[in-house]
Amino acid sequence: MSNDREAILGRVRQALAPLPTRAAAPDWERELVLMRHARGAVDAPALFAERLRLVNGTPIASVEELVALFVSSGWRRGYCDPALAARLRPAFPAEIVFETEFDRTRVDDYQFGITAAVGAIAETGTVILNDAATSRRLAALAPWVHVAVVPRRSIHVDLPEAVAALGGDPNIIWCTGPSKTADVEGILIEGVHGPGVQIALLVD
Amino acid sequence: MKFQQIDEYAARLRPETKASVHSGSKAGHEKRTKVLFDHFIDPDRLRRIAGDIKQHVVENLDTYLPAVEAKLRANGVHVHWAATAEAANEAVYSILQARGARRMVKAKTMVSEETELGRFLEKRGVECVETDLGEFIVQIDGDHPSHIVKPIIHKNRREIATSFERHGLGAYNDDPETITRRARVHLRHKYLEADVGLTGANFVVAESGRIVLVTNEGNSRFCLAATKCHIAMVGIEKILPRDRDLGLLLNLLARSGTGQQLTVYTEFISGPRGPAQPDGPEEMHVVFVDNGRTDVLASECRDILRCIRCGACLNVCPVYRQASGHAYRSVYPGPVGAVLSPLLAGERFPAMADLPKASSLCGACNEVCPVNIPIPDLLLRLREKGKREGSDAAAAGTPAMGGWAVMASQPFAWKAALAGGRIMNVLPTKYVPVAALQAWQSRRTLPTWRGGTFRTWLHDRRKQQSQAGSAAPRN
């Protein structure tokens, strides 16, 4: 394998040696990727909610509203990040069961997963999860319903801003609406491997 | 005259396949155009700058490759190098052996299609499951993907339902939602049982050592949430210089590929899982694959290495829409494939040299390319190479030009041919002994012949002008 390394790098150098000059790295201004609607002052939480709806996600502004949705949808059992459970549990009726451990051998028993997001992107309706903030990767992915708890102050306006804030976590994932496919005849179907319902609960 | 292989394939294509490919690619192209121009004031400028960034990377791979390797190692990632397809498969297999792994789940990666990794591992007793819905269907059918981002664009729901039934995934049901739910149920247990998750990479950032993966279904995320070891197979050209360049490239990739603003999942991986995270790989490997790319780099067509595999050039191409992806006889179909496949074929170049001719050079592929690759120019260079190397495939479908060359270089022969050509003005089309001309003319009428020849007309006109000039009054 180390021979392959030397062989590849040697061939790369040989291939590039005849070039009289090398193309320079161009710089570009953030202005270039600003979307038309995002010019001027932006209310990030409002834009985030609007954009999340466009990708069939569900923005929710208060815990009461979340409880009402759970009750009306019949979601009874799921996972909740232990730190969030302490805060959210009292608002939920007793028949809705929060488990604070995620047992991967019972993956189909969890109708929902409630985990913390580290941020969001307004212009795309994206929630941002990472290894430090999100207690279980599986709990945010395998259940049919995922609730990401997003602090309002953590919402970035656009992609360049979110890229600049990536930071040092080894695994960051941007989730933009429910999991989906159009592989069969181009027909959109939601909930392929990940959640079929993606909720963002905005908190202060 | 012999037809090109791609024409012969297109002529044999079933009408329903042709219809699926045509409508799927047309819809993809229309969505792309709408979303780019609705969202941005100057999308063409985005494409040009993105192209310049990737060209910079291609021309500086000698510094970027060691730099990205050092960064990955510093992040705790094991780095492997593979000069050939076999070496790449062996590298993956040896990682599996070291872990005693027997089960692998795999997200969609085009480079693993190049190396035929799945078949290689199955032969060695490793279960290797494709998890992207389209790739999963391709796998259970023993088929090949026919599009870079929509692998089963050539299949309809009835064929898929039949495959599912044959594979024991329930009784025949061709409802797309039922098909998707059955795949969900079947595959989630495959993830949870697997020892290793394998993915490709859409970008690798030199500055940070981040691997960026984009998917819609969440399958690569599931691979990285359920397994303990992550292997990423990466073509050596996938590098971006800085994190901030992602702000540009990610804005272009999904819009160009599927007309989405952003794919549902965009994952940034810079190493094994974080210390507080119970799920995900504790070990991560990156296998850098050459497999012919350094030959492309040494060629006049190195610009094709900018490609970010969005599939926009397939969707817009009139030839692809008629012929579908399998007509290109290689992993990469469409305009990008017509350039890349013959180059990656190495010694088999002459056999693939017809592909650069499968184009009318209309230029649409260049206009939609998010990294502005001058595909028509590259096709012309490859046509010349095919001709120079005396490839039979390159000559198929080309009329012999020897007679034309003699005629056009001898004034006497040229004038005689022109005089002969005038017969066309009076000879009814049905008596013309050229099939192609008859076909062309059978539905068209020539304008009425008004007499004279261009040369005579020009000569007379010059004469008149010089007379008029000398007769003009002077001040």
pLDDT at residue number B4: 86
Domain CATH for A127? 3.40.50.10420
Q: What 3-state class would DSSP assign to B342? A: helix
Distances (CA, A) of B460 to B111, B415, B452, B455, B457: 65, 18, 11, 9, 5
| C-alpha closest to that of A117 among A90, A92, A142, A139 | A139
* C-alpha distance from A96 to closest chain B C-alpha (Å): 24
B388 in any annotated domain: no
> Nearest 5°: phi and psi at B397?
80, 5
- CB within 8 Å of chain A, chain B residues 312-341: none
Residue with tokens 């870079």: B148
pLDDT at residue number A114: 98
B159 in any annotated domain: yes
B440 in any annotated domain: yes
The shortest CB-CB distance from B280 to any of A2, A11, A171 is to: A171
Q: Positive or negative, the Cα torsion across B121, B125, B130, B136?
A: positive
Q: What 3-state class would DSSP assign to A173? A: strand
Give me the helices (H) in B289-425, please. 293-298, 312-316, 318-323, 334-344, 349-352, 364-368, 375-388, 392-395, 402-409, 411-421
Interface check A175 vs B, CB under 8 A: yes
pLDDT at residue number B206: 98
> Where residue B134 falls among pLDDT bands split at 50, 70, 90?
very high
Q: How many helices (H) and strands (E) does chain B have?
A: 24, 10
Average pLDDT over residues A103-115: 97
A6 in any annotated domain: no
> Where residue B397 falls among pLDDT bands split at 50, 70, 90?
confident
pLDDT in tens, A165-184: 999 999 999 999 999 999 99
| DSSP code string of A100-168 | SS--GGGGGG-SEEEEE-SEEETTTTEEEEETTT-S-TGGGTSSSEEEEEEEGGGEESSHHHHHHT-TT
Indicate if the pLDDT at residue A130 is higher than 60: yes
Mean pLDDT across chain A: 95
The shortest CB-CB distance from A4 to any of B83, B150, B261 is to: B83
Interface check A53 vs B, CB under 8 A: no
Q: Which of B239, B271, B291 is the last residue of a domain?
A: B291
Residue with tokens 């020539």: B446
A23 in any annotated domain: no
pLDDT at residue number B473: 55
Interface check B287 vs A, CB under 8 A: no
Report the alpha-carbon distance of residue B305 to residue A16 in Å, rounded.
13
Q: Which of B291, B322, B353 is the last residue of a domain?
A: B291
Distances (CA, A) of B269 to B64, B135, B205: 19, 23, 10
A30 in any annotated domain: no
**B276 and B132, same structural domain?**
yes
B445 in any annotated domain: yes
pLDDT in tens, B190-243: 999 999 999 999 999 999 999 999 999 999 999 999 999 999 999 999 999 999
pLDDT at residue number B451: 64
pLDDT at residue number A2: 64
* C-alpha distance from A58 to closest chain B C-alpha (Å): 14
DSSP letter (8 states) at residue A24: P
A166–B290: do the CB atoms touch at under 8 Å? no
pLDDT at residue number B448: 67
Report the alpha-carbon distance of residue A105 to residue B336 in Å, rounded.
44
B254 in any annotated domain: yes
A80 in any annotated domain: yes
A5 in any annotated domain: no
Query: In b/e form, how buried is each residue of A153-174, taking b as 16+ CB within 10 angstroms?
Result: ebbbbbbbbbbeebeebbbbbb
Mean pLDDT across chain B: 93
Give the containing element (helix H, strand E) for B222: helix B219-226
Average pLDDT over residues A77-97: 97
**Structure-block tokens of residue A126:** 């994206």
pLDDT in tens, B146-170: 999 999 999 999 999 999 999 999 9
pLDDT at residue number B132: 96
pLDDT in tens, B294-304: 999 999 999 99
Indicate if the pLDDT at residue B471 is higher than 70: no
A8–B83: do the CB atoms touch at under 8 Å? yes
Percent of chain B with pLDDT over 70: 97
pLDDT in tens, A13-57: 999 999 999 999 998 988 888 887 766 678 999 999 999 999 999
Domain that holds residue B159: 40-291
**B61 and B205, same structural domain?**
yes
DSSP letter (8 states) at residue B242: -
Strands, E assignment, B101-228: 103-106, 127-130, 196-199, 203-205, 211-215
Contacts A197 to B, Cβ<8 Å: none
> Where residue B183 falls among pLDDT bands split at 50, 70, 90?
very high
pLDDT at residue number B437: 75
Interface check A5 vs B, CB under 8 A: yes
Indicate if the pLDDT at residue B404 is higher than 80: yes
B275 in any annotated domain: yes
B241 in any annotated domain: yes
B20 in any annotated domain: no
pLDDT at residue number B1: 55
Count Cβ atoms below 10 Å from residue A102 Cβ, excluding itself. Answer: 24
* C-alpha distance from A39 to closest chain B C-alpha (Å): 11
**B286 and B428, same structural domain?**
no
Domain that holds residue A121: 43-203
| DSSP code string of B55-71 | HHHHHTHHHHHHHHHHH
The shortest CB-CB distance from B176 to any of A104, A175, A189 is to: A189
pLDDT in tens, B310-357: 999 999 999 999 999 999 999 999 999 999 999 999 999 999 999 999
Any bridge partners for residue B419, and if so which? Answer: none
Total domain count, chain A: 1
Strands B103-106 and B127-130: parallel
Compare B95 and B395 and report the one with higher pLDDT.
Answer: B95
Report the alpha-carbon distance of residue B417 to residue B381 in Å, rounded.
32
Distances (CA, A) of A26 to A164, B51, B55, B248: 18, 10, 10, 12
pLDDT at residue number B216: 97
Indicate if the pLDDT at residue B101 is higher than 90: yes
Interface check B224 vs A, CB under 8 A: yes
B265–A179: do the CB atoms touch at under 8 Å? yes
A9 in any annotated domain: no
Domain CATH for B231? 3.40.50.10420
Q: Which of B262, B291, B320 is the last residue of a domain?
A: B291
The residue of chain A nearest to residue B42, with distances taken between CA atoms, is A32
**B421 and B285, same structural domain?**
no
The shortest CB-CB distance from B221 to any of A1, A28, A194 is to: A194
The residue of chain A nearest to residue B186, with distances taken between CA atoms, is A193
Interface check A204 vs B, CB under 8 A: no
A108 in any annotated domain: yes
Angle between helices B43-59 and B15-39 (to 10 degrees): 100
The shortest CB-CB distance from B49 to any of A28, A166, A180 is to: A28
> Where residue B416 falls among pLDDT bands split at 50, 70, 90?
confident
Count Cβ atoms below 10 Å from residue A75 Cβ, excluding itself. Answer: 18
Is-contact A177 A146, C-beta < 8 A?
A: no
Contacts A182 to B, Cβ<8 Å: 150, 216, 258
Give the containing element (helix H, strand E) for B79: strand B78-82
| C-alpha closest to that of B378 among B330, B343, B331 | B343
The amino acid occupying position B392 is D
Contacts B302 to A, Cβ<8 Å: 15
A16–B297: do the CB atoms touch at under 8 Å? yes
* C-alpha distance from B357 to closest chain A C-alpha (Å): 26
A31 in any annotated domain: no
Average pLDDT over residues A104-119: 97
Which of A16, A184, A187, A190 is the best mutation test for B, with the most CBs of B within 10 A? A184
Indicate if the pLDDT at residue B424 is higher than 80: no
Contacts A129 to B, Cβ<8 Å: none
Contacts A25 to B, Cβ<8 Å: 53, 56, 241
pLDDT at residue number B449: 63
Total domain count, chain B: 2
Average pLDDT over residues B3-11: 90
A194–B152: do the CB atoms touch at under 8 Å? no
Compare B394 and A132 and report the one with higher pLDDT.
Answer: A132
